Amino acid sequence: MKDFAGKIAVVTGGGTGMGRELARLLVAEGCNVAMCDVSAEAMAETKRLCEVEKLPQGLRITTHVADVSIEDHYKRFRDELIEQQATDKIHLLFNNAGIGGGGSLFSNTREQWERTFNICWGGVYLGVRTFLPLLVKADEAHIVNTSSVNGFWASVGMGVSHTAYSAAKFAVKGFTEAMINDLRLNAPHVKCSVVMPGHIGTSIVSNSRKVQNGSDQLNADELKQARQRLQGQGIDVARMSDADIQQLALDRARIFHDEAPTSAAAAAKIILDGVKAERWRILVGDDAHLLDERVRKTPEQAYTPEFYQGIVAATGWKVG
């Protein structure tokens, strides 16, 4: 698929971050976009940004409130798309929606763990299940599933557990790789790619708290985990109040967004260029390339303090 003009794309998690920037770039290339998100307000802002420049006549941008972990929401989204986009086919499916949280089997609740897993993995699986018939009806189509560097390296540092997100992203990577041959055998005009971003400047940290807790404030369990993480980094937390910990968490979310080595807009361009080049494996960011190289070179060392310290020194990461 060398260009997107006149095509129809589905983008999940279109309200913020890479989803928003994918929608903007697709629209700029003349592609119709149907996006979903749990936030109608965030999608409205994405749509406004897409429409800042006058749209070509007939180009359609539609927004649909949906939780990607719930199959009935996906089915409603599909039915609304068919009606509002006046189509029985789509050409591009970007399974982009995701959250963090639920990192520990010990200190997080089962509900938190499964919420993260069901969005990050279940959203991809249900997205493909729901929209595959519409993709097959197109003359050419492409499925783009967002995994992560945590799809081949299950860590964000020595001081914090990261099981739910990593498990989900490993599942996305394996599922997409297995789909390559499944599509080749059964629908050769449909391609697929797995996207593995490094640290991208998005609001995933604050958005994850809002989805998990209903606000961007840490709950009691998260306060305890934050103290443990800071203590593991050699920070004296004995004299720090809960309010101090909350402020550090807000600062961390801001730093994650503002000081990332790759912006969401740059990431979206890398992804779309990868689709045009029909690459099934799309690494996003210099840190993703570096981490991929080092994990492959010394897999037995990948979860040692020395390995993580080397990654931080080489990339300037401020995560974990």
Contacts made by residues 304-307, CB under 8 angstroms, sequence distance 24+: 305/158
Third-level CATH fold of 8-202+262-315: Rossmann fold (3.40.50)
Cα separation, 149 vs 291, in Å, equals: 8
Q: Which amino acid type is present at position 273?
A: D
User: 85-112, pLDDT tens digit by residue?
Assistant: 999 999 999 999 999 989 999 989 999 9
Please give the structure tokens belonging to residue 297.
């070179």
- Strand 61-65 with 32-37, pairing: parallel
CA distance 267 to 256: 15
| pTM, full prediction | 0.90
User: What stretches of 111-231 adopt beta strand conformation (E)?
Assistant: 141-146, 190-197, 200-201
Convert the pLDDT of each residue in 140-175 to its tens digit: 999 999 999 999 999 998 888 999 999 999 999 999
pLDDT of 207 reads 64
- Evaluate if residue 270 carries a pLDDT over 80: yes
Among candidates 41, 50, 267, 245, which has minimal Cα distance to 149?
A: 267
Give start-end residues of each CATH 3.40.50.720 domain in the chain.
Answer: 8-202+262-315
